[in-house]
Amino acid sequence: MPIFDKPATAASRYSFLDDYSEGAHPALLKALLASNTSQEAGYGNDAYCEVARQRIRRHLGRDDVGVFFVPSGTSANAISIAACLRPHEAVIAASSGHIVTRETGAVEASGHKIINVVPHNGKLTPATIQRAMEDNWHFPHMAKPRLVYISNATEIGTIYTHDELAAVRRCCDDNGLLLFLDGARIGTALTSRVNDMTLRDVLELTDIFWIGGTKNGAFLGEAVIVKDPRLASEFEFYVKQHGSLLAKSRVMGTQFAELFHENLYFELALKANLAAEALSDGISAAGFSVSATTETNQVFAILPLGLIKTLQEHFIFYVWEKRGDDAAVVRLLTTWATDTEQLEKFVGLVREWVG
Amino acid sequence: MPIFDKPATAASRYSFLDDYSEGAHPALLKALLASNTSQEAGYGNDAYCEVARQRIRRHLGRDDVGVFFVPSGTSANAISIAACLRPHEAVIAASSGHIVTRETGAVEASGHKIINVVPHNGKLTPATIQRAMEDNWHFPHMAKPRLVYISNATEIGTIYTHDELAAVRRCCDDNGLLLFLDGARIGTALTSRVNDMTLRDVLELTDIFWIGGTKNGAFLGEAVIVKDPRLASEFEFYVKQHGSLLAKSRVMGTQFAELFHENLYFELALKANLAAEALSDGISAAGFSVSATTETNQVFAILPLGLIKTLQEHFIFYVWEKRGDDAAVVRLLTTWATDTEQLEKFVGLVREWVG
Amino acid sequence: MPIFDKPATAASRYSFLDDYSEGAHPALLKALLASNTSQEAGYGNDAYCEVARQRIRRHLGRDDVGVFFVPSGTSANAISIAACLRPHEAVIAASSGHIVTRETGAVEASGHKIINVVPHNGKLTPATIQRAMEDNWHFPHMAKPRLVYISNATEIGTIYTHDELAAVRRCCDDNGLLLFLDGARIGTALTSRVNDMTLRDVLELTDIFWIGGTKNGAFLGEAVIVKDPRLASEFEFYVKQHGSLLAKSRVMGTQFAELFHENLYFELALKANLAAEALSDGISAAGFSVSATTETNQVFAILPLGLIKTLQEHFIFYVWEKRGDDAAVVRLLTTWATDTEQLEKFVGLVREWVG
Amino acid sequence: MPIFDKPATAASRYSFLDDYSEGAHPALLKALLASNTSQEAGYGNDAYCEVARQRIRRHLGRDDVGVFFVPSGTSANAISIAACLRPHEAVIAASSGHIVTRETGAVEASGHKIINVVPHNGKLTPATIQRAMEDNWHFPHMAKPRLVYISNATEIGTIYTHDELAAVRRCCDDNGLLLFLDGARIGTALTSRVNDMTLRDVLELTDIFWIGGTKNGAFLGEAVIVKDPRLASEFEFYVKQHGSLLAKSRVMGTQFAELFHENLYFELALKANLAAEALSDGISAAGFSVSATTETNQVFAILPLGLIKTLQEHFIFYVWEKRGDDAAVVRLLTTWATDTEQLEKFVGLVREWVG
């Protein structure tokens, strides 16, 4: 007997809309089940969070960093930024950054100005950061730039190479700036075909960053990594004040313990990337171009409007922007859970259209 | 094979510390499992949240109220209060209120002053609210009282009767005040032996309130009920801006759909209350007094220090405050998951001590 | 006997740097002196503020608007915006706007995001506002645009015509936006050669605006005009909470009473404009071009570097930006207090250079 | 010829209501006049502010402290506290403190909780601070106490002795707390009959404090003294962000330069104290008691209702609270400007009543 009947509104078409359409990976569910009856201390002091922190630290290669679990990417960003800044300090971010375009002004709600810069292929560069510094020097009449926000993978699926991130780091050092990395999709970034960084490199090159669970197999949860011991020692206050210190943090602890048990986290991300590659290759093989190289789990393909209409009969995805009168860019997201059959059906329809 | 070995730090003594030591109720876990593979829209637009909203509205007897899921009690309180107030408006709350003593200044962090009043048995009364109004009239040099915060059950486990809540409501109306009810433990309140209210009464007598999931069987999640349609229409902005709009809100939707399937929510709360009653009765029968009548799932018992020491060998609980040289008040919390055997063992030890 | 010796750091070169280098207009000083010994009620309830409000209302042609005195432009902007918005609402402003570039993130410090748009000749247009609306629709993941901020005169000295402001107003109405006008230099705007608006038009076309005293003859003080009676009834709370309700508001009241006694406010502004025109004409007559039409009290002239160097021996002014290898744009500000002799000396040096 | 006719609402009865009913001291007005025509740099970089800073530093006996001028006491308090604290840190203050009762929640508006403690004779003591620490230890669920706010003179006119302040300082050191002193009436405190401290002692014993101008002879302005060089180096950002960095800070500079020219500041305060003493003595001599010792410029006298009625025909003052059926406490404030004739008339009426 079902808990409740399949709700009428449930999607009947397969979705390539985003990377949070599914529930949790079965291994995480199983861990949740196994842990369910044990009594645990609240607010992150439970045994599962402790194991998760140890396993994450092992992956990071350092015992002495703070690891904090929060329920959402917006809370991870807002808390981290508020914890790092004095009231008059500002953030430098790409105008395409998630904190700029998709978080309802949460950073500003905590009192901080975001200085927008134009991204290059979704990324910040030393030159654009330097330019932002030069445009914001008129003190004390301007907020003082103090933290650079970047995302890896970026909001359009591109990634930073080691050289690129190291250059940003140097630029930050030269300008007295902290470097904060939004890792909502750090798994797909670090398992990208074109990636040359490890999690340890990210730790070394940034001041604070987070590892996204929600978009890589968990029901919820992001792990914020705090290097500065003084900041780490008070970080829970910020988490609690933002309403993000869950009484049953064990729910996040269990899942992260599982994700960082051996290499599961990166295996799931790699699956998402490979699915994207397959989609991208299939579309290219049929003679259509992609509007950006597929580096992670986002495919941007330019398709004729007629084909898009046909595809929409079977699939859900974003039509991103028009290209001329007869075509448009569509965005397709894949995950660890992407159904291979559905993927092949999609590519098949593309091929048929040409055919 | 266990997901990971039993962590060394896990409690070996049974805990009466709080009502969030366990995971989720098995029925909720089962629902999570059953829902896991379906693809769903993000941010609360999924089918499970929709079912949960419908079922909660059915219990409330009204179709037209807003229902919003947030991950924690602190976020429910901070968001609701920030959504209701203009920057210069203040909250009236008992000095024992959760927002005063256990939320790291989250209300003040959103810019609002809390005017503390002395509680009577954990509760606000028209007289104390009126007094707060009279002490805060010197406008515009004082923040303007605009919202009354109460908890039901209160932080010490007492509950409001219908008459008491109606009187507070009238006092609010007379003074242009909104009435907000923190329902972290509304389940145990409405199933208390001495309760004479329904969920519909609470809806009628307040402006905004929330139904706690975390302390009554869920992994996480509280459901905020918003009556004012204008406020409800923009409420998601606040939820999102606070980092509390989970991408996979389905996790909360599934659990609340299950909790409000028929009467499960209240059945779980009743179990917690009955366990507390059994504890309270057992302790009283052994000749010890309770320092406050046990109305919900919190027992405050006055025990000799020697007995407390003995109990601590087997159980974890809070020693609340000294009573003379030889005794102390202890706090014992029960839940839907309280183990009857452990409870009987506890009472047995109390009896033995006397005997 | 001087109060103290001429401080060593005092400027020996004449300044065209800004419009707040001098003290107060003599008529205002005289009024301050005359009022000094009377005992008055505090916090704006004095007789002088009352007279000032009446005189300003007479100029506005309406008895029923709120008039509030605050000590600075930054406080006028931050208070007005915070008073109009809910926490999730955002401001649309030109990227050159004073709140964006010169107020240390004061708007963000009160929790609100500013959506920057590219200005046209320092101004917003319906097209740019409409574009900002179209870029910020993804609710509730984006802050909700709710208020348009404009300056008149703008930060580069240009002004809105009646048609232009009326068009912005219609665009605001179509999009549910409030229109807020920063009038730090509203005097020079409304006495510009090319102006076709009155103070009454500004009142009619905006929701809230302010009349700058600091840059037009006063020691300090800006008068915020609030049309919405509900907002006006609580506006003093915001002023007080921001630390801007001066105990001796009489200082601002006396000066504004004098400025709006007959037409003094506009006479002073006109003097500033005429001085700018004389400068501009003199420079043009010598064969140099101005980089923007001189509409108010700001002159932007393109001069050879050699001439600039000569001028700097006698005057202080901003060198704004390079123009090729041999020239630069300089910015010259005039006021009611600009010394005609110094102005002529400046023009004389320009003429001599040409020879 | 008057600038405008005596406004109809102007007081015809002499006021003992507060210490900001008059304009500025004549010497300050004269300094304003003398400085008026010189061109000066804006935002506190003018020669007058520089002289004022030097003179204040000379009184403080230290060259290396930051001195910042802001327009109001509320801004001095809100800015200082916001500049000292991290978002999760709280203030300990007497429930009678100005920031608690008369500043419209400005501290909370900047995000910080105030922990109220019961004052002893208007003052905090080590015991009450220690108690507040013990009540606020449950981290991270409680905001972290970090700063103690005191006023000297207090809100009821009492003062701290050197021993009392030193004891508070030690308590702060023991608990990792900053000590902030609101010096709105520091002049009357340090010239009180019972005072044994100097301005240098205050500097030594506190971390940050301010010297009030508004209530001691100035039109406006308070001077915030910042010892910590790192805080001082960024303090102007906070001042600007709060809208308190006046373009013509010269207005405050001129006045403070004059107040701290030799000993004027303290001479004015002493005059206020002596007037209060004369009032207090006169009332006592007539056989009435004062409800608190008159230590500074506030007199609290217990008078029969009939006498109060008679006095109200000629004077304005606060009736503070009833005392039995036939008497009440009245509050009388004196200043440097208190009119000796009026004072004698007041005492005369008291004497007559006894008759």
Mean per-residue pLDDT of chain B: 95
Contact A247 B72 (CB under 8 A): yes
Spans of chain D below 50 pLDDT: 1-10
Is the pLDDT confidence value at B4 over 80? Answer: no
Mean per-residue pLDDT of chain C: 95
Contact C234 B82 (CB under 8 A): no
Contact D138 B105 (CB under 8 A): no
The pLDDT of A270-286, averaged and rounded, is 97
C29 phi-psi bin (left φ>0, alpha ψ -120 to 50, beta other): alpha
Is the pLDDT confidence value at C5 over 60? Answer: no
Search chain A and give the residue with CA nearest B22. A39
Contact B88 C234 (CB under 8 A): yes
Which of A182, A180, A249, A190 lies closest to A218, judged by CA? A249
pLDDT-based confidence at residue B291 (cuts at 50, 70, 90): confident
Name the strands in the sheet holding B327-333, side by side, starting at the edge strand that comes first in the sequence.
B298-304, B327-333, B318-323
Q: Does B72 touch chain D (CB under 8 A)?
A: no
pLDDT-based confidence at residue B11 (cuts at 50, 70, 90): low
Residues in chain C closer than 8 A to B236 (CB atoms): 139-140
Of D111, D139, D234, the CB nearest to A237: D139
Q: What confidence score (pLDDT) does residue D5 get?
A: 42
Contact A3 B50 (CB under 8 A): no
| Cβ proximity of C158 and C74 under 8 Å | no
A122 phi-psi bin (left φ>0, alpha ψ -120 to 50, beta other): left
Is the pLDDT confidence value at C8 over 80? Answer: no
Pick the CATH number of C26-262 from 3.40.50.2300, 3.30.200.20, 3.40.640.10, 3.40.1190.10: 3.40.640.10
Provide the token pair at A31. 């861990």
Domain ranges of chain C: 26-262, 265-354
Mutation to test the B interface, candidates A248, A333, A335, most B Cβ within 10 Å: A248
Q: Does C242 touch chain A (CB under 8 A)?
A: no
Q: Does C233 touch chain B (CB under 8 A)?
A: no
Residues in chain B closer than 8 A to D93 (CB atoms): none
Is the pLDDT confidence value at B337 over 50? Answer: yes
Is the pLDDT confidence value at B2 over 50? Answer: no
Q: Which long-range contacts (CB under 8 A, 24 or more apart) does A301-309 make?
A: A301/A329, A301/A330, A301/A332, A302/A327, A302/A328, A302/A329, A303/A327, A303/A328, A303/A330, A303/A350, A304/A353, A306/A353, A307/A349, A307/A350, A307/A353
Place of tokens 């003290």: C23
Residues in chain A closer than 8 A to D144 (CB atoms): 234, 237
| Cβ proximity of B237 and C139 under 8 Å | yes
Search chain C and give the residue with CA nearest B84. C86
Residues in chain D closer than 8 A to B116 (CB atoms): 116
Is the pLDDT confidence value at B278 over 60? Answer: yes
Most distant CA atoms of chain C, gap in Å: 67
Residues in chain B closer than 8 A to D101 (CB atoms): 138, 141-142
To the nearest whole angstrom, how far is the Cα of B299 from the nearest Cα of chain D? Answer: 21
Search chain B and give the residue with CA nearest C84. B86
Of C88, C236, C241, the CB nearest to B87: C241
The pLDDT of C106-120, averaged and rounded, is 97
Residues 275-294 of A with CB under 8 A from D: none
Q: Does D141 touch chain B (CB under 8 A)?
A: yes
Of C105, C142, C143, the CB nearest to A113: C105
What DSSP string describes D10-52? S--SEE-S-S-SS---HHHHHHHHHHTTS---STT-SHHHHHH
Of C14, C72, C337, the CB nearest to D243: C72
Provide the token pair at C149. 């901020």
Other residues' Cβ atoms within 10 Å of the Cβ of residue A325: 6
Residues in chain A closer than 8 A to C102 (CB atoms): 138, 141-142
Chains in contact with D, counting 3 or more C-beta pairs less than 8 Å apart as contact = A, B, C
**Among residues of chain A, what percentage have pLDDT more than 70?**
97
Q: What confidence score (pLDDT) does residue A11 get?
A: 52
Interface A-C, measured as beta-carbon pairs within 8 A, has a size of: 62
CATH class of segment(s) C265-354? alpha beta
To the nearest whole angstrom, how far is the Cα of B344 from the nearest Cα of chain D? Answer: 31
pLDDT-based confidence at residue A291 (cuts at 50, 70, 90): confident
Q: What confidence score (pLDDT) does residue B230 get?
A: 97
Q: Does C138 touch chain A (CB under 8 A)?
A: yes
Is the pLDDT confidence value at A2 over 80? Answer: no
Q: Does D264 touch chain C (CB under 8 A)?
A: no
Residues in chain B closer than 8 A to C237 (CB atoms): 88, 139-140, 143-144
User: What number does CATH give the domain B266-354?
Assistant: 3.90.1150.10
Q: What confidence score (pLDDT) does residue B204 get?
A: 98
Q: Does D172 touch chain C (CB under 8 A)?
A: no
What DSSP string describes D212-238? ESGGGT-SS-EEEEE--HHHHHHHHHH
Q: Does D95 touch chain B (CB under 8 A)?
A: no
Place of tokens 């000993």: D263
Residues whose CB falls within 8 Å of the CB of residue B187, separated by 6 or more in sequence, listed in order:
B211, B212, B215, B216, B265, B266, B268, B269, B272
Amino acid at residue number B352? E
Contact C104 A142 (CB under 8 A): yes
Is the pLDDT confidence value at A1 over 80? Answer: no
CA distances from C302 to A353, B276, C13 (A): 61, 84, 21
What phi and psi values does residue A291 have, to the nearest 5 degrees?
Answer: -85, -15
Is the pLDDT confidence value at B53 over 50? Answer: yes
Q: Is the dihedral of CA C16, C19, C23, C27 positive or negative?
A: positive
**Selected residue with higher pLDDT from C2 and A280:** A280
Strand runs (DSSP E) across C45-124, as ranges?
66-70, 89-94, 114-117
Residue C64, CA atoms < 13 Å, CB-side half-sphere: 6
Q: What confidence score (pLDDT) does residue B12 get?
A: 81
Residues in chain D closer than 8 A to C77 (CB atoms): 243
Report the DSSP pairing between strands D222-226 and D66-70: antiparallel
Chains in contact with B, counting 3 or more C-beta pairs less than 8 Å apart as contact = A, C, D
**How far, rounded to the nearest angstrom, does the alpha carbon of residue C100 sit from its chain's CA centroid?**
14
Amino acid at residue number C201? D
What phi and psi values does residue C122 have, to the nearest 5 degrees?
Answer: 85, -5
Q: Does B31 touch chain A (CB under 8 A)?
A: yes
d(CA C239, CA C236): 5
Q: What confidence score (pLDDT) does residue B355 get?
A: 81
Partners of B301 in the β-ladder: B290, B330
Contact B72 A243 (CB under 8 A): yes
D107 phi-psi bin (left φ>0, alpha ψ -120 to 50, beta other): alpha
Pick the CATH number of B26-264 from 3.40.640.10, 3.40.30.10, 3.40.50.2300, 3.20.20.140: 3.40.640.10
d(CA D49, CA D43): 9
Residues in chain A closer than 8 A to C138 (CB atoms): 101-102
d(CA A280, CA A284): 6
Interface A-B, measured as beta-carbon pairs within 8 A, has a size of: 223
Search chain C and give the residue with CA nearest D33. C29
d(CA C11, CA D145): 47
Rg (Cα) of chain B, in Å, rounded?
21
Which of B216, B192, B249, B215 lies closest to B67, judged by CA? B249
Per-residue HEC secondary structure of A32-45 comes to HHHHCCCCCCCCCC
H-run or E-run covering B233: helix B229-241
Q: What confidence score (pLDDT) does residue D297 get?
A: 97
Which of A172, A155, A153 lies closest to A102, judged by CA? A155
| Cβ proximity of B25 and B268 under 8 Å | yes
Residues in chain C closer than 8 A to A142 (CB atoms): 101-102, 104-105
Of D14, D74, D258, the CB nearest to C240: D74
Contact D103 B141 (CB under 8 A): yes
Is the pLDDT confidence value at A42 over 60? Answer: yes
Residues whose CB falls within 8 Å of the CB of residue C273, separated by 6 or more in sequence, listed in order:
C188, C191, C192, C193, C296, C297, C334
H-run or E-run covering D69: strand D66-70
Of A10, A30, A36, the CB nearest to B23: A36
- Residue-wise pLDDT for A80-129, tens only, equals 999 999 999 999 999 999 999 999 999 999 999 999 999 999 999 999 99
Residues in chain B closer than 8 A to A7 (CB atoms): 47-48, 50-51
Q: Quick one: B233 exposed, middle or buried, by C-beta within 10 A (0-12, 13-18, 19+)?
A: exposed
pLDDT-based confidence at residue A4 (cuts at 50, 70, 90): very low
Of C10, C37, C243, the CB nearest to D244: C243
Partners of C332 in the β-ladder: C299
Q: Is the dihedral of CA A42, A45, A46, A51 positive or negative?
A: positive
d(CA B165, CA B167): 5
To the nearest whole angstrom, how far is the Cα of A279 from the nearest Cα of chain B? Answer: 19
Of A43, A87, A237, the CB nearest to D88: A237
| Cβ proximity of D56 and D256 under 8 Å | yes
Mutation to test the A interface, candidates B4, B262, B334, most A Cβ within 10 Å: B4
Q: Is the dihedral of CA A297, A301, A307, A313 positive or negative?
A: positive
pLDDT-based confidence at residue A355 (cuts at 50, 70, 90): confident
